[in-house]
Structure 1
Amino acid sequence: MKLYHLPLSGHAHRAVLFLSLLGQKAELIEVDIPNGAHRTPEYLELNPFGQVPVLEDDGLVVNDSNAILVYLATKFGRKDWLPDDLKSVAKVQKWLSVAAGEIAYGPCAARLVTVFGADFRADEVIARAHRILKLIDQELEQHQFIIGDKPTIADVALYSYVVGAPEGNVDLMPYINVRHWLARIEALPGFVEFPKTAVGLRA
């Protein structure tokens, strides 16, 4: 397997983290996005959206971070990470959608402003981040991980941009359940840290 990634991308970190949590090896290929490597014809063949991550596995290309999580859990038969009972399936899918929606347009977008100079209104995306963090914190009052007392790919999908939120000037201190949840993920065997940058509240 090959994984095309960028270390500072939370989307790419999801895939790197999950591979490690599964104990699976992949060749990590860093995409030189600052110099336009994601816009080359060769890369656009792998992902027409020009984004990371991309997983290449024996001729099959998976080019969405959440799809990669589902693919890996399914490929290796890891029902502990992707349960197949209907209640759990619905819950996992809901939080994958949150990761692609509210997380992307909240803490992810806030971090893009400070780390990559993205043209978003910081006050708007920070407010969105706090709205979703409050909801996640309330959910985590009920159980240890986002859908229950064991981690699933939903936790992996949410983790990177939540832990990186302070880089986007989003304070995690009000969210005690979120902070305890982050610590539980970081204690899992095979955990891989999301690289930090000295910007925002971490400056």
Structure 2
Amino acid sequence: MSSYTLYGAFLSMPCVKIGLMLDLCGLKYDYKHVNLRAGENKTPEFLAMNKWGQVPVLVEDGAAMAQSGAILIHLAEKTGKLDGATPAEKQQVREWIFWDADLLHPGIAGPRSQILFLNGAPEIVAFGQARGQRALGMLNEALEGRQYLVGDKPTIADLACFVTASYAADAKIALDAYPNVRAWLARIAALPGLKTPQEALPRPAA
């Protein structure tokens, strides 16, 4: 059986995605918190694992992997879990993974960071929130009449977008206008063995 170590930060949505995926796949892993404020992601040791100095990094049997979308796809392919059932579905799953990274994640992570960490100017926050609302509208439309984003079972597409959308409140984006998204969030949250995103990773000792 492969061994895994996840390097991450508990407030990072991409890191949460990988922690939850490992749990859903039944893969045990060691977790190492990376103190971003202290620059631990810029040390030579960390940069040897990820040249971009970003979290998450997942080390599998000594080989380091970066970028949460790529890691999700790797784990789905390796374990045969949470992937599309057909080649066409697999393609759609990957499209959603990249859509999340391109539209949904920036639209929620951007204003969230401005509000929680950067004391962003109101116009900057509003600009980011508008992007998030647009992406949530697209997600809401895609979920019309559907239980999951692709096929009839949950996939990494659902997991990635679920984590991102779960932080909408931090970005001060209300979900009242997106009933399909709200129902889908509750559906994914009820999956057996799934922790809440906020509980996915250990918090560092004070």
**TM-score, normalised by the number of residues in structure 1:** 0.90
Does 2:75 correspond to 1:75? no
Distance in structure 1 (CA, Å) of the matches to 2:184 and 2:141: 12
- How far off is 1:84 after superposition? 5.4
Does 2:49 correspond to 1:49? no
Aligned residue for 1:103, secondary structure, equals helix
Contact 1:110 1:170 in 2 (8 A): no
Aligned residue for 2:7, secondary structure, equals strand
Does 2:24 correspond to 1:21? yes
Does 2:167 correspond to 1:157? no
Distance in structure 1 (CA, Å) of the matches to 2:152 and 2:91: 16
Whichever residue aligns with residue 160 of structure 2, its letter is A
- Superposed CA deviations along residues 166-202 of structure 1, whole A, max 9, x for unmatched, are 1011111211111111111111111121228xxxxxx
Instruction: Give the 3 Å change call, closer, same or farther, for CA 65–118 of structure 1 in structure 2.
Output: farther
Instruction: Give the 3 Å change call, closer, same or farther, for CA 98–148 of structure 1 in structure 2.
Output: same
The residue aligned with 1:127 is: 130
- How far off is 1:112 after superposition? 1.4
Q: Percent identity?
A: 36
Poorly superposed stretches of 4+, deviation over 3 Å: none
- How far off is 1:148 after superposition? 2.9
- How far off is 1:73 after superposition? 1.3
- Superposed CA deviations along residues 20-60 of structure 1, whole A, max 9, x for unmatched, are 11111110111111211111111111111111110001122
- How far off is 1:119 after superposition? 5.7
**TM-score, normalised by the number of residues in structure 2:** 0.89
Whichever residue aligns with residue 86 of structure 2, its letter is D
The residue aligned with 2:193 is: 190
Contact 2:89 2:150 in 1 (8 A): yes
- Superposed CA deviations along residues 59-88 of structure 1, whole A, max 9, x for unmatched, are 22111101111111112232xx11252321
Contact 2:83 2:90 in 1 (8 A): yes
Distance in structure 2 (CA, Å) of the matches to 1:89 and 1:56: 24
Whichever residue aligns with residue 3 of structure 1, its letter is L
How large is the RMSD of aligned CA atoms in angstroms? 1.6
